[in-house]
Amino acid sequence: MDYGVSDPASGNPRTSSQHRAIKILLAGGFGVGKTTLVGAVSEIRPLRTEEPLTEGSLRTDSTVGVEGKTTTTVAMDFGRISLRSDLVLYLFGTPGQQRFWFMWDELAIGALGAVVLADTRRLADSFPAIDYFERRAIPFIVALNCFDGARRYEKEDVRMALDLEPELPIVLCDARSKESAKEVLIALVEHVLITASEEPLSGIV
Amino acid sequence: MPSNDERWLDAEAGPVVRPYALTQGRTRHAGASFDLVATVTATQAAIADLGSLAPEHMSVLQLARAPTTVADIASDVDLPLGVVRIILADLRELGLVAIRTPVVMAERIDKHTLREVLNGLRGL
C-alpha cells in the first residue's frame, strides 16, 4: 500500500480527501428502544467500554485490597452508516442515567448532535439526558418511540411535560422501522443546520 | 462455594474487568489522547522487537492495515475501549500506527458537511 505518515509540522495536503467520521449520540432510559433504533438504520456492532464503580455499587461489593480495580464493563450500542466512501456516520447509544455521563463526556466532543429517545409512559427517564445536552449546549431533538399499546400524546403536551424550548423538534417514531429511524436522524441534522444558520460566523471563512 | 472470580454488579453492568491484565494493569495510555472515531492507520514500519507485542497488539495492527477507527477496532477485537486505547498508544509509541483525529472534529461541523450528511441520509 502506498501511504505515508503525515508530518505534523508540514501540515497535511491531503486533508480534503480524508475519511470523515461524524458522531451522533442516542440517549435514553433502558428499554426505550435505543438498540432497536440503531439496528434499524445501521449495521449494529458490539462495543464495550468501562465504567468506574459508583458509590452505590461499592457498598454492595467489597473492594478492599482491589482499590485499583474499580471498573466494570458496559455495552454500548454502536452503529455505522456509510453515506459515501469518505463520509461515515457513527451512532453511539449510551444508557441515560447520570452514572454513565462520563461516557457521554467523551462521545459528545465534536459530535454533530444527539437524539433523546423517550417513551411517553416513562418520560421522566429522559430528564437526565435532556438536562445533560441543554447544559452543554449540544444540539439535540426528542424522538418519541411509539410503543404499541401506549397512549398517544400530543407533541405539545410532551413539550410542556419535558419543559422544552418551542423551537426544539419533537418527532414521533417507530424505532423498529428503518424509514422512521432515518427520519429521526434527518430531523436532527435539519435542526443542527437551522441552529447553525442562526449563529454568527465564528471567523472561519 | 460459588466462585468469586466474576462478580456481577447489577443487570446493566457486566463482570469486573479482567482484560487490563493485557495492559500490565495500566488504565491510562501514554501520549496525546484520541477520539473514538479517530482514524488509525498502520505505518508499515518494521517491528523492531516482536517479543514486546502481545497477540492482541498484533490483532489490532492487522485491523489497522486499512484506515479504520478506534471504535471499529474495539468492536472487531472485542476488547473494552480502554484496553484498545492502551494497545493503540503502545503501537503509536513504537511508530507502528498513526492516529489522526477526523478533520470534522477539529472545528465545528461545517454546513457543507451537514448538507452532505442530510443528502446521504435521504438517499439511504
Question: Quick one: cell of A113?
Answer: 448532535
CB nearest A46 (choices: B75, B104, B120)? B75
User: Does residue B77 fall inside a structural domain?
Assistant: yes
Q: Mean pLDDT throughout A8-28?
A: 65
User: Does residue B80 fall inside a structural domain?
Assistant: yes
Q: Mean pLDDT throughout B23-40?
A: 80
Residue A51's pLDDT is 65
Inter-chain residue contact A49 with B72, CB threshold 8 Å: no
User: Does residue B6 fall inside a structural domain?
Assistant: no
Smallest CA–CA distance from A192 into chain B, residue:
B114
Domain total for chain B?
Answer: 1
Q: Mean pLDDT throughout B98-117?
A: 81
Q: Mean pLDDT throughout A35-58?
A: 77
Confidence at A204, pLDDT banded by 50, 70, 90: very low
pLDDT value at A63 more than 60 = no
User: Does residue B10 fall inside a structural domain?
Assistant: no
Q: How far apart are CA A79 and CA A90, in angstroms?
A: 6
- What percent of chain B stands above pLDDT 90? 44
Smallest CA–CA distance from A14 into chain B, residue:
B103
Candidate ranges A14-18, B50-54, B95-99; pick with highest mean pLDDT: B95-99
Count of residues making up chain B: 124
- A-chain CB neighbours of B17 within 8 Å are 50, 69, 71-73
CATH no. for residue B108? 1.10.10
User: Does residue B112 fall inside a structural domain?
Assistant: yes
- A-chain CB neighbours of B44 within 8 Å are 1
Residue A4's pLDDT is 42
Confidence at A205, pLDDT banded by 50, 70, 90: very low
User: Does residue B7 fall inside a structural domain?
Assistant: no
Top residue of B16, B18, B23 to mutate, by most chain A CBs within 10 Å, is B16
CA nearest to A77, candidates A175, A170, A183: A175
Top residue of A2, A6, A18, A47 to mutate, by most chain B CBs within 10 Å, is A47
For the segment A153-169, what is each residue's pLDDT rounded down to a tens digit? 888 999 999 999 999 99
- What percent of chain A stands above pLDDT 90? 44
CB nearest A72 (choices: B15, B79, B121)? B15
Inter-chain residue contact B121 with A182, CB threshold 8 Å: yes
Q: How far apart are CA A102 and CA A87, in angstroms?
A: 27
Q: How far apart are CA A111 and CA A140, in angstroms?
A: 11
For the segment B33-83, what is each residue's pLDDT rounded down to a tens digit? 788 899 999 998 888 777 778 899 999 999 999 999 999 999 999 888 888
Inter-chain residue contact B98 with A182, CB threshold 8 Å: no
Smallest CA–CA distance from B19 into chain A, residue:
A73
Q: Is the ipTM of this complex over 0.85?
A: no
pLDDT value at A67 more than 50 = no
Reduced to 3 states, what is the DSSP secondary structure of residue B15? strand
Q: DSSP assignment of chain A, as one string?
A: ----PPPGGG--TTGGGS-EEEEEEEEE-TTSSHHHHHHHHSEEEEEEEEEEPPHHHHHHS--TT-GGG-EEEEEEEEEEEEEETTEEEEEEEEE-SGGGHHHHHHHHTT--EEEEEE-GGGGGGGHHHHHHHHHTT--EEEEEE--TTSPP--HHHHHHHHT--TTS-EEEE-TT-HHHHHHHHHHHHHHHHHHHHHSPP-S--
To the nearest whole angstrom, how far is the Cα of B89 from the nearest Cα of chain A? Answer: 16
- A-chain CB neighbours of B20 within 8 Å are 69, 71
Percent helix, strand, coil in chain B, to 5, is: 45, 10, 45
What integer best gives the mean pLDDT of chain B? 81
What integer best gives the mean pLDDT of chain A? 79
To the nearest whole angstrom, how far is the Cα of B52 from the nearest Cα of chain A? Answer: 23
User: Does residue B12 fall inside a structural domain?
Assistant: no
Residue A18's pLDDT is 65
Residue-range definition of the domain harbouring residue B59: 19-122
Candidate ranges A17-31, A82-96, B95-109; pick with highest mean pLDDT: A82-96
Residue B5's pLDDT is 46
Residue A152's pLDDT is 76
Spell out the domains of chain A, with CATH numbers in brackets. Answer: 19-198 (3.40.50.300)
Inter-chain residue contact B116 with A21, CB threshold 8 Å: no
